[in-house]
Structure 1
Amino acid sequence: MARSVLIVDDDPVQRRLLEAAVSKAGHAVITADSGEAGLSALERSDIGVVILDLVMPGMDGLQVLERMREREIEIPVIVQTSKGSIDTAVSAMRAGAFDFVVKPASPERLQVAVANAMKVESFGGEAKRAKKGTAGSLTFADIVTGSPSMQRVITLARKAAGSSIPILIEGESGSGKEVIARAIQAESTRRSKAFVTVNCGAIPDNLVESILFGHEKGSFTGATEKHVGKFVEANGGTLFLDEIGDLPLDVQVKLLRAVQEGEVDPVGARQTVKVDIRLISATHRDLLQRVEDGKFREDLFYRLNVFPIYVPPLRDRREDIPRLVQHFISRVGPAETRGRVNGISPTALAMLQSYDWPGNIRQLENAIFRAVVLAEGSLLTENEFPQIRAQVDGIDITAADTAPAPPPSPATAAADTSLQRVEEAVVQPAEQREAAEPDTSDAPFGFLQVLDARGNMRTLAEIEHEVIRRAIDHYKGQMSEVARRLGIGRSTLYRKLKEMGITPEEERSERLAS
């Protein structure tokens, strides 16, 4: 049975237009007039794709995306945005949007976006089941890396596997904290026992205690059956508490006792239950800062932080990206495309390496999965990553909506704000600038003078101008390489050159003639 398309929009006219376009393509449609109603529909109905308006009263589209991520609802989301709302679209992609359309979206554009999202979603279930089936057997040898920083992580984790002391794994979301935890379990003396995971950030506050420690039948409204809790489930094995920093303070007290005494108090029970577990915690938060802010107990922090391990983000180990890309292609390709996709083009790989991946390995894996499913040829190209490319090169949201709809791939992250530059610098008249500019013609390569001939600081516009000129000369006019090395998109580079009144060819000619 085909899964439905959920339309979330507070505008009744827009809902009817979207419903007509989607229904015409043969999809069943469910509508919701608010973010809250949309989340409720996701829990009640069998949804395959969500079309989400970003601007709504109450819970807006970005908040809906955040709630979906917290609840681990991995359904493709197509967001609607107004023309010119580039920042909002970028934020939506960072939050996990699959694709975006600009209002008013043509029925054809919308239908193609939904069809591509449905195609990806249909392949997703089998991939997740295959991944789940192999997760428990993961070892350190299975971790795909060659970077020195990750080798140090593995060395530490191997040492930790030989003991039963509590481990705290820190690192950004998606950086591979659970992978390290599973590898520790697989090489420990508890390798044949249970490995139980709990995402503390995805559990409602009023249910955390019951889920962790269990409850007796009738102990509270809705407790129709006895529940043993995750600590008891993990007895003899390993308990992995992900996002430990999100635990409520009152639950932290009970967790401290469980760690210290090796026993838990189920809700409504008359006696404690002894447990023997290996505790591994993980967080993307700065726990020490939360201790200082009064949001995390200091005594619990030191109990958990006996053996800390920090997993670096993917942007700090870009040398791992080629290995990871090929690994994900080889794992997804045979199952989803009968081996048709077997590699990636050099330009596409260079683009992926230049991206900062705020969602880390999880984001890269999702991007490769979607690209493989949607690819037409045997090699992945830049065309299979349209929104990643948009964030590397600079987003043109209008062009993306009016062009023949390319196969969308996930854009789970926004352009790095560090790429923003001063846009309205005051430029001196030419004669004043020539009098004040320093003569750097005889300066050694790499030398950049920040003071002018009068001893005053040069403006940011002047320094930026010189850096761009030198980069074009150094990389022999290869604009993609210039943009990548400067940390900006090609469209941004060409815009700056236009503002400066120069072209790459003119710039190189001037340099060669001098």
Structure 2
Amino acid sequence: MSKTILVVDDEPVQRRLLEAALSKSGYEPVCASSGEEALEILQAENSILAVILDLVMPGMGGMEVLEKLDGNPGHPPVIVQTAQGGIDVVVNAMRLGAFDFVVKPFTPDKLIRTVERAVRFKGVATTRAPRQVRTSSGNAFKDMVSRSRVMEPVLAVMRKAAGSNIPVLIEGESGVGKEMVARAVHEASPRAGRKLVTVNCGALPENLVESLLFGHEKGAFTGASEKHVGKFEEANGGTLFLDEIGELPLELQVKLLRAIQEGEVDPIGARRPVKVDVRLISATNRNLMQLVSEGAFREDLYYRLSVFPVTLPPLRERREDIEPLIYHFVKKIGREQGRNHVTAIRPEVLAALTSHDWPGNIRELENAIFRAMILCEGEELTLAEFPQIEAQLPGFRLPDQEVDRAAAGGGVAAIGMKISADAPGLATPDDLDLQIGGLPEPAAPPATWERRSGLPVSARGDMHRPTVSPTSNYGMISLIGSDGQSRQITELEADAIRFALEIYKGRMSEVARRLGIGRSTLYRKLRELGIETTDG
């Protein structure tokens, strides 16, 4: 029986190390130096048992390879390689179907154990729960996980809106679940059997927005080599969900208004308008009335969109929803990602997560649970899987990190890091009802805590400071700012440099080496970012 493993890495030295480790364990490595070459091999060879994929490569990177493979349910399990600190990248990779990951540098033993697990459970990464397509409106809102009284009137209004054909405007902060509500409204509507087309207006290139929304004819402009059907026509007979509607350019707001009023669109270069029958749902995290007063949003369009307005409250205003959401995500991610060995959640985890403010709301909570599930090697989730939360708790101390750099026998260099497993714990109730109502009371934080801006505070009122500075935050850099929006690259870069300066006590050579940049580049970054320090 063939034991072929495909190694995809642009670095010749790393390829040789991986080849040596695999060959010594009885596998037959086949190598590719690029993503394009890897896809060609996978298409021509059906005996490959697993793929070891580097995420950072010139040309087609690892993420793009995963995207290409994601549409093919028969592809072998993929193990991704990542550098230390690249957990957020790993989370995205596993969302695209990666089976597991190894952190560079990793030992041959760690690699082989991961490969054996992938081969043993070949295909697990692509065994995802199929998205359900409902043909009736009866169960559409049952997937809305909530027991909050604040959400009861919101969901009641949404149920009423679903039965009509009028436009709905969903307002709320980033990550509160606007798209989930839009999907529930669509699936509870008479159009449930037709398409729901989602458009993120904030992510569309300005020069292509009109073409993407309304379509164009062949030859309508330079580069229009064929006809393109716009999103309005694509959603014909169904529902069009326009997310971040406040980002739509003013000149296109006129065409959108016409599409709503007249039920027709004007593709670029078309001789006559095209009739469309679309139910419109819009969403925004901005104050549209303020944009109207500033002249950045048309008033007539606002009133057309907001016939049925609803505001989703942020997670910090409905904390009783956090615990059921945690259980929901643990079960969902465990099922979809093959992480069913996680069957417990420590009480202090529930207390800490419930006390956290979650500026990124449900999306941030889900990402935190996803990352914790991927990192957890034991049967229970502990605070160790939530370092960004644990660093804010009273009495927190940075733990000693033990890294196994020992090389395996046979002259193969050390290429790995060991991660220890945790102890067993409290089982999650199997019969937990995750629907609206009927849920157990949430676990209360310890009696000595108060909630003050989401941070645990002792009853005496003394803030327990962590033993590391706030900039280090246990080595975790938040991608989301206090306003719930994505932080700028320069801010993240400055945080990373400050953290390295602190950890390596200002030793510039070591800081530069650890950050993967030259000393001259480091000094230039310090000047550009306004970071003051002295050479150690």
Q: Same fold (TM over 0.5)?
A: yes
When normalised by structure 1's length, the TM-score is 0.58
Residue 176 of structure 1 is matched in structure 2 by 177
Matches within 5 A, 1:158-177: 158-177=159-178
| Unmatched tracts of structure 1, length 5 or more | 8-14, 33-37, 54-64, 66-72, 82-88, 408-471, 497-514
Aligned counterparts of 1:242 and 1:45: Cα–Cα separation in 2: 39
Q: 2:392 is aligned with what amino acid?
A: V
Matches within 5 A, 1:12-91: none
**C-alpha displacement of 1:143:** 0.8
Classify the secondary structure of the residue corresponding to 1:241: strand
Matches within 5 A, 1:252-401: 252-337=253-338, 339-377=340-378, 379-382=379-382, 385-393=385-393, 396=398
Is the 8 Å Cα contact of residues 458 and 464 (structure 2) preserved in structure 1?
no
Residue 484 of structure 1 is matched in structure 2 by 456
Aligned counterparts of 1:79 and 1:490: Cα–Cα separation in 2: 36
Relative distance call for 1:50 and 1:248 in structure 2 (3 A) is farther
Matches within 5 A, 1:439-450: none
Aligned counterparts of 1:339 and 1:48: Cα–Cα separation in 2: 23
- The correspondence for 1:475, drawn from 419, 423, 448, is 448
**Identity over aligned residues, as a percent?**
45
Aligned counterparts of 1:23 and 1:252: Cα–Cα separation in 2: 57
Residue 211 of structure 1 is matched in structure 2 by 212
Q: 1:325 is aligned with what amino acid?
A: I
Matches within 5 A, 1:415-426: none
Residue 430 of structure 1 is matched in structure 2 by none
Is the 8 Å Cα contact of residues 326 and 343 (structure 1) preserved in structure 2?
no
**C-alpha displacement of 1:154:** 0.2
Q: 2:172 is aligned with what amino acid?
A: G
Classify the secondary structure of the residue corresponding to 1:148: coil
Relative distance call for 1:158 and 1:486 in structure 2 (3 A) is farther
**Residues 114-134 of structure 1, C-alpha deviations (whole Å, 9 max, x = no match):** 99xx99xx966544x634768
**C-alpha displacement of 1:48:** 8.7
Classify the secondary structure of the residue corresponding to 1:309: strand
Aligned counterparts of 2:225 and 2:399: Cα–Cα separation in 1: 51
Aligned counterparts of 1:348 and 1:177: Cα–Cα separation in 2: 27
The CA RMSD over aligned residues, in Å, is 5.5
Residue 185 of structure 1 is matched in structure 2 by 186
**C-alpha displacement of 1:320:** 1.0
Relative distance call for 1:174 and 1:126 in structure 2 (3 A) is farther
Q: 1:320 is aligned with what amino acid?
A: D
| Unmatched tracts of structure 2, length 5 or more | 23-28, 43-50, 58-62, 64-69, 71-77, 95-101, 405-416, 422-445, 470-536
Answering whether residue 122 of structure 2 is matched by residue 150 of structure 1, we say no
**C-alpha displacement of 1:182:** 1.5
When normalised by structure 2's length, the TM-score is 0.56
Is the 8 Å Cα contact of residues 356 and 455 (structure 2) preserved in structure 1?
no
Aligned counterparts of 1:171 and 1:105: Cα–Cα separation in 2: 42
Aligned counterparts of 1:334 and 1:188: Cα–Cα separation in 2: 29
Aligned counterparts of 2:132 and 2:462: Cα–Cα separation in 1: 37
Aligned counterparts of 1:266 and 1:213: Cα–Cα separation in 2: 5
Relative distance call for 1:132 and 1:355 in structure 2 (3 A) is farther
Is the 8 Å Cα contact of residues 7 and 31 (structure 2) preserved in structure 1?
yes
Is the 8 Å Cα contact of residues 52 and 80 (structure 1) preserved in structure 2?
no
**C-alpha displacement of 1:337:** 3.9
Residue 130 of structure 1 is matched in structure 2 by 130
Residue 510 of structure 2 is matched in structure 1 by none
Classify the secondary structure of the residue corresponding to 1:130: coil
Relative distance call for 1:254 and 1:49 in structure 2 (3 A) is farther
Is the 8 Å Cα contact of residues 22 and 29 (structure 1) preserved in structure 2?
no
Classify the secondary structure of the residue corresponding to 2:268: coil
Is the 8 Å Cα contact of residues 382 and 389 (structure 1) preserved in structure 2?
no
Is the 8 Å Cα contact of residues 78 and 97 (structure 1) preserved in structure 2?
no
Is the 8 Å Cα contact of residues 337 and 372 (structure 1) preserved in structure 2?
no
| Paired residues, number | 392
Is the 8 Å Cα contact of residues 146 and 319 (structure 1) preserved in structure 2?
yes
**C-alpha displacement of 1:231:** 0.8
Aligned counterparts of 2:149 and 2:156: Cα–Cα separation in 1: 11
**C-alpha displacement of 1:80:** 7.0
Aligned counterparts of 1:260 and 1:286: Cα–Cα separation in 2: 23
Q: 1:280 is aligned with what amino acid?
A: I
